[in-house]
Chain A
Amino acid sequence: MKLGIVVNEGPYTHQASDSAYQFAKAAIDKGHEVFRVFFYHDGVNNGTRLTVPPQDERNIQKNWTELAAQSNVDLVVCIAAAQRRGILDENEAKRQGKDADNIAPGFRISGLGQLIEAGIEADRLVTFGD
């Protein structure tokens, strides 16, 4: 089955991103396709590469980045939500006149249409949030 996942909260404060990650891994283990993970609201904060969690703690951003690489999962950060919260890729940083970008590998910034498209294309859509 083709699954879409929505993550509405950032890492660490809420369990949402962890739950979504465990769900995605389990789905892939069962042979489902995780077609897209869409990060919205504070969920866009999962997509910064600048987090430095303590060594003995899980690295939520790295978990996602590795999952994307291993299982070809499309990690999409909502552009409107990302702009509000300071998540930028190289293009956006240039376009907005900012001196740096911070998007993590495996993540891409795109529009809300990608969320609607996930709803249309996926057989099931599951949301994780606060």
Chain B
Amino acid sequence: MATLHTVNKSPFERSSFISALNHTVPGDKVLMIEDGVISARKGNTFADLVSSALSDCSVYVLAPDLAARGIAEGDLVEGVQTIDYGGFVDLVAECDRTQSWL
């Protein structure tokens, strides 16, 4: 019954990251793509929010978008998983619906 929530904007620019986290139910999956990956860098202002989301949701970032922005996979908030576009497709298929927080 899970929902995949995608976030494509930096939390420093838009409220979509916070909105997405505010509308998950336990078991949902959150995927940061495009500028959304900025929220997953360890030590950033929003890192604690990512950590608390991990208590009842899975959080993923799209590796190609991380690499494009010069963020190393080792520099992510602990518990955040990296996937490629194929993994994105798998998440869409595994979840019952996708909500894009545009």
Chain A positions within 8 Å of B, measured between CB atoms, are: 1, 3, 8, 15-16, 19, 22-23, 25-27, 29-30, 32, 123-130
Which of A15, A30, A124 is close to B97, meaning CB atoms less than 8 Å apart? A124
Q: Which partner residue on chain B sits nearest A32 by CB separation?
A: B89
Please give, as numbers and ranges, the residues of chain B lying within 8 Å of A129 by CB-CB distance: 8, 100, 102
Q: A15-B34, A19-B34, A32-B93 are in contact. Are A26 and B84 (CB under 8 A)?
A: yes
Give the A-B pair count, Cβ closer than 8 A: 51
Contact in complex: A27, B8 (CB < 8 Å): no
Chain B positions within 8 Å of A, measured between CB atoms, are: 6, 8, 33-35, 64, 84-86, 88-90, 92-93, 95, 97-98, 100, 102
Q: Name the residue in A1, A26, A129 with the highest tally of chain B Cβ atoms < 10 Å from its Cβ.
A: A26
Which of A22, A27, A32, A126 is close to B64, meaning CB atoms less than 8 Å apart? A22
Q: Sample 22 A-B pairs with CB under 8 A, ordered by A number.
A: A15-B8, A15-B34, A15-B35, A16-B8, A16-B34, A22-B85, A23-B85, A23-B89, A26-B84, A26-B86, A27-B89, A32-B93, A123-B93, A124-B95, A126-B6, A126-B98, A126-B100, A127-B102, A128-B8, A129-B8, A129-B100, A130-B102
Chain B nearest CB: distance from A86 CB in Å?
24
Q: How far is the CA of A15 from the CA of B92 in the complex (A)?
A: 19
Contact in complex: A128, B88 (CB < 8 Å): no
Contact in complex: A3, B92 (CB < 8 Å): yes
Q: How far is the CA of A99 from the CA of B95 in the complex (A)?
A: 47
Additional pairs, 9, CB under 8 Å, beyond known A3-B92, A127-B102: A3-B89, A15-B34, A16-B34, A19-B33, A23-B85, A23-B89, A26-B86, A124-B92, A124-B97
Please give, as numbers and ranges, the residues of chain A lying within 8 Å of B64 by CB-CB distance: 22
Q: Which partner residue on chain A sits nearest B100 by CB separation?
A: A127
Q: A19-B8, A26-B84, A29-B86 are in contact. Are A128 and B100 (CB under 8 A)?
A: yes
Q: Which partner residue on chain B sits nearest A25 by CB separation?
A: B85
Q: How far is the CA of A124 from the CA of B89 in the complex (A)?
A: 10
Chain B nearest CB: distance from A95 CB in Å?
32
Q: Name the residue in B34, B35, B90 with the highest tally of chain A Cβ atoms < 10 Å from its Cβ.
A: B34
